[in-house]
Structure 1
Amino acid sequence: MDTACRVRLGKGWARSCKAGLLACLLVFGLPLRAGDAATTKAPETLRFGILPVGSAAESRDQWRPLLQDLEKKLGRPVNIVSVSSYAGLASAIKDQRVDVAFVSGRLATEAIEHQHMSVIAQFVRGDGGKGDVAMLVVRADGPIHNLKDLLAKPGQWRYARGETLSVAGYVAPEAAVFAPRGLNSDTFFAGVRVGNHQNNALAVANGEVDVATNNGPDLDLFRQDFPNEASQLKPIWRSVPLPSEVLVVRDAMPAPVRSALMAFMRGYGHSPGATGERERVNLARIPDLAGFAPADNRVLQPFVDMEFLLIREQAQHGQWVNEHAREARLTQIDADYQKALRDLLRH
């Protein structure tokens, strides 16, 4: 029994139980009066981190109706942690300022490997798919008509890409277009600027850069918000399908909260009648989202494969003091890759 609730005889009893009265009542299941202090502890706030699609303000507005429904379902406050960059969300996860987050594949693998989080669901696109594509876009009336034109003139074009944590904005085009040819986008182009997909698309449309990275959902949102500028763009490269974004949660989240969260997310949009209609409208506010499918960490293996392919290609084509050093680095990369797979799949 708790020390504060230990029954003591004589004069010591009052002194012991005065400090522990509340604990005694809780342990023995006795009812508490409405006026007793701390009898109604407020539920802990759930902090929901959002990957930026468009601006941070747009992301908050897109997610708010869904998260208000989640708040009612869980019976606890849900705070939106909306940031302006991938690095900002990565920092919030690292500093334990979020409990659950909507993240891309690379952020998810970082969260699992280093921040004790796990995948609970994957996004389902508006067409029912669970994938996306990365793109390189140019002006439709510009001098770059295809990928061959782009690669034929190193040092001439201006490039706008995403942060290095962005799969579509950096990892996918780097791994599929540049690294296999022994190129690095940061040195291949005459100039490189880093921004979100919306600003990068605007930069192409306005003639500030010649080519930029993008992806399906962000380009669809860009067409809605900037139809005139979007009409001036065309893709010259698309990646193979990439798994869509996921939801990750802290491993330390209490099991009842975790179960309720998973049930809510996976069932959202499937309720009967008017409730389901309203939920689907809320989902449609978030670009190219139709719902959430059950998933676990295994869904992230394609991202691990892609990242290590990029690292290996960069090492293969890099400058080394001798061939032995190159081979040693490649051997270490292969060992790191196998460890990353084991770490991912054992959770």
Structure 2
Amino acid sequence: MIKKIASALAAVAALACVPAAAQDLKEINFGIISTESSQHLKSDWQPVLDDMGRKTGYKVNAFFASDYAGIIEGMRFGKVHVAWFGNKSAMEAVDRAGGEVFAQMVNADGTQGYYSHLIVHRDSPLKSLDDVLKNSRNLSFGNGDPNSTSGFLVPAYYVFAQNRVDPKTAFKVTRSANHESNALAVANRQVDVATNNSENLAKLGDRMPEKFREIRVVWTSPLIPLDPLVMRKDLPEAARQKVKDFFYSYGQGGQQEKDNLMKLSKLSAFKPSTNAQLVPIRQLELFKDRNKVEADAALPAAEKQARLADIDRRLAQLGTH
């Protein structure tokens, strides 16, 4: 009897150690990064999530947070199972939250990229990136969420790191906000210059054309890979396959699905992808770090050399992927 009780207790203990994600799911929480107001995001994503629920058999819940970090942390603690991220936030989810890239957005025209911008009011005397950098001491700057690819990482490297400029100290005032808030701040003359991207400006043109007409682009980045979808690696295999099948085929089920993708972000499909999509973003992060170390005059020579060697080693490793 004692052996049977001990055996039963061991079985219960073993079951308690099984992660919830490893058991069969009844619901899926889908995380949506805060590129704009949750009201607009819910309007765009809900038709897709409704279709996802019908086709997979799971109850699909939209999961919002006030910033990108909230979605990353939600995935880390199992509150978010699948999510739409930008490339930088996806990198954080892969590295810190047990995530794995499984799909990438495809534009309606078949392209797989978008652009980061610096924007100003249409009547601003600033005409170029050079004007922005030369006059930064007198300007207010709207930076993006620290986990945003186009709103933070890409301009951090191409605009600031390459020009040996620290945006925290270069401007009279620096504040951080999502893409939509930054665009409206520029249109309403609340900041002089801000980061944004081609996708969000297109949405603004559709939703608030009067505000869009008040904005002018003064800098455009190289092409950025389109956004990935990420799921937790420990989801049950059946759930993983159903989610993949849904997204890989979405847009082929009739005109309504095509309309939903166009509303979402002028998309035509989701294609299979992997963590390899994030390699260019990892390179950007390391290049940015390298420039920062090189420019640090207070760093002892030996330590600087060691840090640069470590960054170069990591860059070389990425180059072999």
The equivalent of 1:285 in structure 2 is 263
Deviation (angstroms), 1:81: 0.5
What are the equivalent positions in structure 2 for 1:158-169 lying under 5 Å apart?
158-169=140-151
Q: Does 1:140 align with 2:140?
A: no
Q: Pick one of 105, 117, 124 that aligns with 1:123.
A: 105
- Bigger shift: residues 224-233 or 98-107: 224-233
Max Rg structure: 1
Which amino acid in the other structure matches residue 276 of structure 2? R
Give the % identical residues.
Answer: 30
Q: Pick one of 294, 300, 304 that aligns with 1:316.
A: 294
Deviation (angstroms), 1:340: 6.7
The equivalent of 2:42 in structure 1 is 60
**Aligned 8 A contact 2:91 2:278 in 1:** yes
Q: Deviations over 1:245-299 (max 9, x none)?
A: 111111111112211211110111112xxxx111111212212222201111111
The equivalent of 1:188 in structure 2 is 170
Greater RCO structure (CA 8 Å; 6+ sep)? 2
Cα RMSD between the aligned structures?
A: 2.2
Q: Does 1:230 align with 2:212?
A: yes
Q: Pick one of 293, 313, 321 that aligns with 1:335.
A: 313
Measured in 1, the distance between the counterparts of 2:40 and 2:244 equals: 25
Measured in 1, the distance between the counterparts of 2:230 and 2:147 equals: 16
Q: Does 1:241 align with 2:219?
A: no
TM-score (norm 2): 0.88
**Aligned 8 A contact 1:205 1:233 in 2:** yes
The DSSP-based 3-state class of the residue aligned with 1:90 is helix
Q: What number of residue pairs does the alignment pair up?
A: 303
The equivalent of 2:17 in structure 1 is none
TM-score (norm 1): 0.82
Deviation (angstroms), 1:332: 2.4
Deviation (angstroms), 1:301: 0.8
Deviation (angstroms), 1:339: 6.1
Moved over 3 A (4+): 335-342
Measured in 1, the distance between the counterparts of 2:136 and 2:200 equals: 28
- Bigger shift: residues 333-342 or 123-132: 333-342
Q: Are residues 314 and 138 of structure 1, via their aligned partners in 2, closer, same or farther at CA, if it must alter by over 3 Å?
A: same
What are the equivalent positions in structure 2 for 1:1-347 lying under 5 Å apart?
44-271=26-253, 276-337=254-315
Q: Deviations over 1:154-181 (max 9, x none)?
A: 4111100111111111110110011112
Which amino acid in the other structure matches residue 293 of structure 1? K
**Aligned 8 A contact 1:43 1:77 in 2:** no
